[in-house]
Chain A
Amino acid sequence: MDDVSDDLAARLAAGDAAALAEEHGLARIGSRPALGAYIRSLWSRRYFIGVLATSRAYARNQNTYLGQLWALLNPLLWAGVYLFVFGVLLDTSRGVDNFIGFLVIGVFMFRFTSSSVTAGAKAITSNLALVRSLHFPRALLPMSIVLAELATLVPAVLVLCVIVLITGEPLTWSWLLFPVAVIVQWVFNTGFSFILARLVAQARDLLNVLPFVLRGLMYTSGVFFSIDHYVGTGVLGSVLAYQPVAVYLTLARSCLLQDFPPDPLVWGFGVGWALLFAVGGFLFFWRAEEKYGRD
């Protein structure tokens, strides 16, 4: 090559790259963006997050004859199984008046968190090809994945409300709070997914542990039984009752069931957990931004 590039190569060899870059107005790449810039770039991609989420939710039911009808049929079938087993075969109330309403809300809202977290944990590892071919703030992957679960929940919530009405619950003003409870839970799910997505990206082995953690959560969050009734209100009972997943189940029940009056303390815990996980999880995820896609 000509003299100019020989000169450049010599300067590069002399460890002068940073000065050379500054001289020509070049920016260093592969460093983690500042938090403000990161949030702004996420905000400018908000439409992409939405399109990715709805496309993902839509594609899920695309390979069948009934197509999108499955979005409604799937939760109906789940409800049918639980109603049959617990309402007809076992016919148990387990210390709750409207056990069927209690159970269906518990199962649906728990599934919302467990499926969000399961999919969100794989946000980076299952999209490595995408991460390695395009630039975008990586946080939009867990966000869109959990948003897709929210989109999947909407038809399930309709089924849920109809079932609860059939069990004889009156339609009250507190039903208006139900969408708020769902949003708060969604924020929590997103935060939880941020944390798991980073951990799994660094050590995939965690994916093998996650199902056990979720199964444990299912039995300790009062999905099938009332925590008060079985564990009591001692220290253990309080810890179980105010851990995030149990809080969100109680929150949803307090909106739809007469048995569960709205409790400001539960709302406080619900919003608190959501903010803690969302902010903490986002920061935790962002701090490894430049490392995603490595392996």
Chain B
Amino acid sequence: MKTVAIIDYGLGNLRSVYNGFEYVGAKPFIAEKPQDLKSADCTVLPGVGAFGDGMEHLRGNGWVEPIQNIAMKDKKPFLGICLGMQLLASTGEEHGNFEGLGLVEGKVVKFNPEDPSIRIPHIGWNAVTAQEGSKSYDDLEMPQDYYFVHSYVFQPSDPSVISGTCQYGHDFAASIEQGNIWGAQFHPEKSQAAGLTFLRNFLKMGD
């Protein structure tokens, strides 16, 4: 049984992510300090809220370097969910200009759909199309609907890291895969069967 460290950096709700991983047969635990990551097979960075606040919380509690080590040096499976995926970027432009974790090159920018009738934040279920060669959606007939809540989107410098796309005003990255580093803009833990399969696929990494 794989252990999954869920990083608690003081933002958002961790319980749903915990319940999701427990349900698909992993052994999740809440990582309250950076040292807790060492023992885990996989690491998850959840989170909601603003980019700058997120980085401030990560930095203030000493998470940045341990996360970079585990994801880039040790190359252990790493998943960022929602704000957690956005924090993987090099920079974020939410309420200012902020440096991110820099695990995946790219920037986080405000949603800017041309259609003024589209409400921001993007809240609800929307269809995700898998990109060729992606592993996140194995065993699923795509497209599938996933649950989104966000106002900003991740634009990777290298579009080939995009594993799934979604459309809301314009196409954006619904998920990314860069080797062992995965990200989901949606909430797999709140996307019923299709979301639980996504979590299972993440756990399969390295098998």
A and B assemble together = no
